[in-house]
Amino acid sequence: MTQKTEQAKWPQPDPALNGNALHQLQAEFMAHWQQIAQAAQQGTLPPLTDRRFSSPAWQNSPQHFMMAHLYLLSTETLKKMIEETTPPGPVRERLRFSVEQWNDAMSPANYFLTNPDALQAFSDTGGESLQKGFLNLLGDLRKGQISQSDESSFEVGHNLATTPGSVVFENPWFQLLQYAPQTPTVYRRPLLMVPPCINKYYILDLQAGNSLVEYAVSQGFTVFMISWRNPMATDTDGIQASSWDDYIEKGVLTAIDTVQQITGQKQINALGFCVGGTMLGSALAVARARGDNPVASVTLLTTLLDFDDTGILDVFVDEAHAAYREQLLGQGGLMTARELATTFSFLRPNELVWNYVVSNYLKGNAPPAFDLLFWNADGTNLPGPFFTWYFRNMYLENKLCRPGVLKVCSEPVDLSDLDMPAYVYGSKDDHIVPWKASFASARLLSGPVRYVLGASGHIAGVINPPARNRRNYWSNEAVEPRQSEPQAWFDQARSVPGSWWPDWAAWLGGHSGRKVKARSEQGAAGFPVLQAAPGQYVKVRA
């Protein structure tokens, strides 16, 4: 739980050691180069497991196959140079990130003349593949982003975000959705979901059968959802000047109060996902500082409360970047969805950038229809003051995890005040919220915590419907996060096949009170139905 403004003084490298390491790397590189050249002459180059070069076209073209081997040798040598000659710390991490970006960009698979798959497609189609690829490129240039999914196959409210419900409240920051019951009886205590405002809420309500909202409603929970407004450059009501405090006070806390009034429940359950979890934790700490206790249980999905370890995003976090953003956006304006999307895509460039460059442009393929990737391209803008405050106080200075240091809505917040039961989920391969960071965040809560670790990444680990019977998760009923370090917890955990959703539903049911007859109408006196779900805010495209 350190401040990242307190830069460590890293030891200076020993020039002799660096010289020896470089000499050794050079010798190894030349020896391996000669081995590859000799094997290529003899036709004995081994197959490559790297999926960029695993197709038969690479092995059937000796020149291209040798090029792929030499490329991988070069990238591995560059990585070793960073590790051997750079002292640990921010400099090494940034060099590593920069070199990996360069390595990925320079792959021979990314260029038409050095990709035998693309050349074979050109030959097989009489040039039509390259013509289609050029048209795909022109379309993406007009759109301003690489197409990752067939966007014509999806429409929000038609085959995405289709769980039946109504908008029962609206202000300039969010619309509140209440979903219709799908069971004769429902748990008395409702559930409010707080999604990240950096994305649209329907990541939790994708296609039928792939929706956490649909699943929760089918289990007898009365579910409410915050649908954040997507601020636009053309808006004239001041939304672009909104602060973190605005989103906490007029967003999360207002939503909690509204759900209480609609359902008549003094306490509700709440779930936060990613940045939504950070906002929810902040809001509940504000409520506790005011003497309120509106939430009986909290669920946090891939959430950072302790920002000491932010994984690969750490390369962007320093005082200079924070000051630049504050000068540019601190008084108003927008952190655009396009810039956010580009940043996140280049955290995994092979999967989210170059993969589509090769398929869409070099081979002329149309991207397949994929609901999650459609959502990924349907981004949101963020008000500049909100973003800059969040970046400095969370990512740079890591204040939220230190009791009483950070003021939110004029209240000094202390996460240890949150003593309600908590279900905290992390994803094992999450590159945005490393699982050990989510584990560290769970340790800040003082109530009973059930920590569950799911397989896969930031999104795919969360969206894992039970019917598909995919992946697995780890749990450790004997040890809570406060009693263990993350690796020790994992070493003692048991692996459970399939989705973590039933485990969470069983836990949540234990904190939701008895069941009562379901009401057929949404809203209540003073909170009339304004329109059908999914509402209008979610349909505004950046």
Task: Tell me if 377 sits within 8 A of 149, measured CB to CB.
Answer: yes
Backbone angles phi, psi at 273, to 5 degrees: -120, 125
| HEC assignment per residue over 270-317 | EEEECHHHHHHHHHHHHHHHCCCCCEEEEEEECCCCCCCCCHHHHHHC
- 408 phi-psi bin (left φ>0, alpha ψ -120 to 50, beta other): beta
Task: Tell me if 533 sits within 8 A of 244, measured CB to CB.
Answer: no
Q: Which of 197, 274, 401, 409 is catalytic?
A: 274
| HEC assignment per residue over 408-435 | ECCEECCHHHCCCCEEEEEECCCCCCCH
- How far is Cα 289 from Cα 245, in angstroms, rounded to an integer? 15
Among 136, 175, 224, 104, CA closest to 540: 175
Question: CA torsion, points 281, 287, 288, 293, in degrees to nearest 10?
Answer: -100
Strand partners, 191: 223, 269
Q: Letter for the amino acid at 227? A: S
- How far is Cα 282 from Cα 399, in angstroms, rounded to an integer? 11
Name the pairing type of β-strands 407-408 and 411-412.
antiparallel
Among 224, 124, 119, 222, CA closest to 174: 224
Per the listing, tokens 């349909």 go with: 539
Clarify whether 401 is annotated catalytic: no
Task: Tell me if 296 sits within 8 A of 267, measured CB to CB.
Answer: yes
Per the listing, tokens 């509402």 go with: 535
Taking 3-state DSSP, the helix, strand and coil percentages for the chain, each rounded to the nearest 5, stand at: 45, 15, 40
CA angle 17, 83, 77 (to 5 degrees): 100
Determine the length of the chain. 542
Positive/negative CA dihedral, 83, 87, 88, 93:
negative
Among 381, 409, 399, CA closest to 250: 409
Q: Is 348 in a helix, a strand, or coil?
A: coil
- 291 phi-psi bin (left φ>0, alpha ψ -120 to 50, beta other): left
Task: Tell me if 131 sits within 8 A of 350, measured CB to CB.
Answer: no
Positions marked active-site: 274
